[in-house]
Structure 1
Amino acid sequence: MLVKEAPVIWNLLKGIVCVYKPAEITCENLRKALLAKICADLNNMECRSISERVVIEGNPLEKLTVNVVPNLADHPAVVGPRYLPDELPASWSNYLGWNTCGILLFGLREGTRTAKYLRENRPMRAYKLKGTLGKATDNGLASGKVVEKSTWKHVTKSHMEKLLSSIQSSHQKQMFQLCGVDLQSQTAYDLAVQGPIRPANSKVPLLYGIKCIEFTPPNFVIEVHCINENESYLTTFIHEIGTKLHSTAHCTALQCVRHSCFTLEDALLKKHFTLQNVLTNMEKCSIKLEENKDLLYQKSASLTSINTE
């Protein structure tokens, strides 16, 4: 059944919405665009009626009449739209930088608690990082000023894969060192089988998996699975790859392709921001969270056990 009453729809807006954040737009501006579209669609629906007030008219010495009339002080033309973006609580569970595009999760109303849980649980994220060999820029990005040029034709895909494998191994070793556990011990094995190991310090970026998925010199694309990362760290990582390959490199694109159990297929594009699409997306996200609830709780338990160690 098609619901046309805005108050009914308003009560359904509680949960997680998965959207796609374009590059060169802030998370805050995308949040404002989403809330503005939701409220605009709500205001175009059947909102609550104008409240009424009692009016007593007539001569007190003769006869008085009591009438119930619409309260003009409650008219939308006086008080403004019924639904305003500022009245719809929304928070993101993961933050993407200015140059990063990809999956961004918003919690609406009661969904802000779920967004906070996902944020504090520090789920693993996957990125596709595009880089170019031969040039280094002052900010590590294609938009920066070129500060150094170098040769790159000596770099092969086997060199790239060997380097990435070495970096992944060093990060895996670092995971256990941060937990104060011997890599060859039974405790290390018991922690590893529980799930991805997370350090107690949320400021320490860790890479769980690194793979070169495309290599067409001087351009390359790598896929990184990580936690505690940020845009600056990922662009610096591309620069370090170029340095360790005895060349230079800068990042040309960053895309978050996975956040926890959410992938690009779940993300809602900005051009599709409509109330109906948001409700549909919210329902799909709710089902996906329910299906992966055990996995999410398992990750949280893994973190607790490591901190205990």
Structure 2
Amino acid sequence: MLIRDAETIWNTLKGIICVYKPAEVSVQKLRTIIINKICTELNETEVRPPIDYVAIEGDPMKSLSVSVRPNYADHPLVVGPRYQEEDLPLSWSNNLGWNTTGVLIFGLRSGTRSAKFIRENRPTRAYRIKGVLGEATENGLKGGKVVEKSTWRHVKQFNMDRLLSAMQASHQKKMFEMCGVDMQSQLGYELAIKGLIRPLDGKIPVVYGLKCIEFDGPNFTIEIQCVNEYETYLTSLIHEIGLKLHSTAHCTAIQCIRHSYFTLEHALLMKHWNLQNIITNLEQCNKILSENENLVKQESVALI
């Protein structure tokens, strides 16, 4: 059943929403769009009418009269719409780059604390990245100027799988070295069973998993699980893969497919960004967050 009372809707807008970010749109722009959508539709529902002006007039020594008049100082045509964009706090939990698409988490009103909680606990994120062998561009992306071409037909999927496996093992070894712990020691085992090891410095990218899920030369797709990543790092990773395969490569698409416990299944497409869908999504995301809040805390037990 649709709720037509703006005040009731406003009181439910507290928590986390999950949206799908398209490419070539900034997170700040999406934030503005969502706030504008919510406020516009709220003002189209049954909002609070202007409060009447109560006037007490007359001589206090004799008699007073009380009259009720329209209060123009509280009229929307004077003070503006009941719900304005600056009244709605909205913050993001993960900041995706300009060319990156996928899962993006926002916190609404009191949900900004939940968004901050997720952000500060640095849960793992998963990406699906597409690349092309044989060409290197100046910015590592498909729109960039081609600066180098090379052969790629010698690269097979087993070469890709073996390289990604070695790179994953190298990242895991590096994490333990930063802790000053031998991976084969008892201390290393005890550290590993406590949970994922994260660097204290939130600017150090750490890769936990690398896998090639599709190879159709020269095109390939890999999935990566990581923390502290950023768009430039992911594009440089594709470039590094090309070099280590004795070729070159550039990135054609970056898609965030999971952020913490939120996946593409939970993300609202831009065409579905309306008040009713946002409320439904908010209820779904709040339920997921409450069910997994303790697990999110446990993920960050081991820090470098």
TM-score class, shorter: over 0.9
- Cα deviations by residue, 1:100-150 (Å, 9 ceiling, x for unpaired): 000000001110011001101110000000000111000000010000011
1:167-189 Cα offsets, whole Å, 9 max, x none, are 00000001111122111111111
* 1:75 match: 75
Partner residue, 2:290: 290
Q: In 1, Cα distance between the equivalents of 2:53 and 2:63?
A: 20
| Residue 206 of structure 2: aligned partner | 206
The residue number in structure 2 matching 1:66 is: 66
Distance in 1 separating the partners of 2:179 and 2:34: 40
User: Would you say the 8 A contact 1:130–1:252 is kept in 2?
Assistant: yes
The two structures have a TM-score, normalised by structure 2, of 0.96
SS where residue 131 of structure 2 aligns? strand
Query: Match of 1:253, SS?
Result: strand
Deviation at 1:293, TM superposition (A): 2.1
**Deviation string for 1:226-248 (max 9, x for gaps)?**
00100000000000110111110
Say whether the 8 Å CA contact 1:131–1:219 is kept in structure 2.
yes
SS for the counterpart of 1:23 is coil
**d(CA) in 2 for partners of 1:141, 1:271:** 27
Q: For residues 9-63 of structure 1, what are the alpha-carbon distances to aligned partners after superposition, in whole Å with 9 as ceiling and x for unaligned? A: 1111110000000000000100111111111111011111101212356899998
SS in 2 for 1:288: helix
Shift in Å, 1:190: 1.1
Paired letter, 1:67: S
* Range with greater deviation from structure 2 (197-206 or 147-156): 197-206
Counterpart mapping for 1:118-129 below 5 A? 118-129=118-129
Match of 2:227 in 1: 227
Distance across 1 between alignment mates of 2:287 and 2:90:
20
SS of match in other structure, 1:209: strand
Tell me which residue corresponds to 2:164: 164
Q: Quote the residue 2:177 is aligned against.
A: 177
- Number of residues of Structure 1 aligned to a counterpart in Structure 2: 304
Partner letter of residue 233 of structure 1? Y
How many angstroms apart in 2 are the aligned matches of 1:61 and 1:200?
Answer: 75
Q: Is the 8 A contact 2:121 2:297 kept in 1?
A: no
- Aligned residue in 2 for 1:153: 153
Deviates more, 1:64-73 or 1:239-248: 64-73
The code of the aligned residue for 1:32 comes to T
**1:36 counterpart = 2:36:** yes
Pair 153,57 (structure 1): closer, same or farther in 2 beyond 3 Å:
same
In structure 2, give the amino acid aligned to 1:292.
N
Equivalent in the alignment of 1:86: 86
Unaligned runs of 5+ in 2: none
Structure 1: gaps spanning 5 or more residues:
none
Aligned residues of 1:179 and 1:199 also touching (Cα < 8 A): no
Secondary structure of the corresponding residue to residue 54 of structure 1 = strand
Which secondary structure does the structure 1 equivalent of 2:286 belong to? helix
Aligned residues of 2:210 and 2:223 also touching (Cα < 8 A): yes
Tell me, in whole angstroms, the C-alpha distance in 2 between the residues paired with 1:12 and 1:56. Answer: 38
Question: Take 1:178 and 1:6, find their aligned partners in 2: how far apart are those partners?
Answer: 53
Distance apart, 1:156 and its partner CA: 0.6
Question: Match of 2:197, SS?
Answer: coil
CA distance in 2, matches of 1:2, 1:119: 33
Is the counterpart of residue 100 in structure 1 residue 100 in structure 2? yes
Structure 2: how far apart are the matches of 1:223 and 1:69? 66
Alpha-carbon separation, structure 2, partners of 1:256 and 1:3 = 33
CA distance in 2, matches of 1:14, 1:102: 23
**RMSD in angstroms over aligned alpha carbons?**
1.7
Corresponding residue for 2:246?
Answer: 246
Letter in 1 for 2:240: E
Q: What is the one-letter code of the residue matched to 1:249? A: A
Tell me whether 1:130 sits opposite 2:100 in the alignment.
no
CA distance in 2, matches of 1:81, 1:266: 31
Mapping 1:47-66, distance limit 5 Å = 47-56=47-56, 65-66=65-66
Structure 1 window deviating more from structure 2 (70-79 vs 223-232): it is 70-79
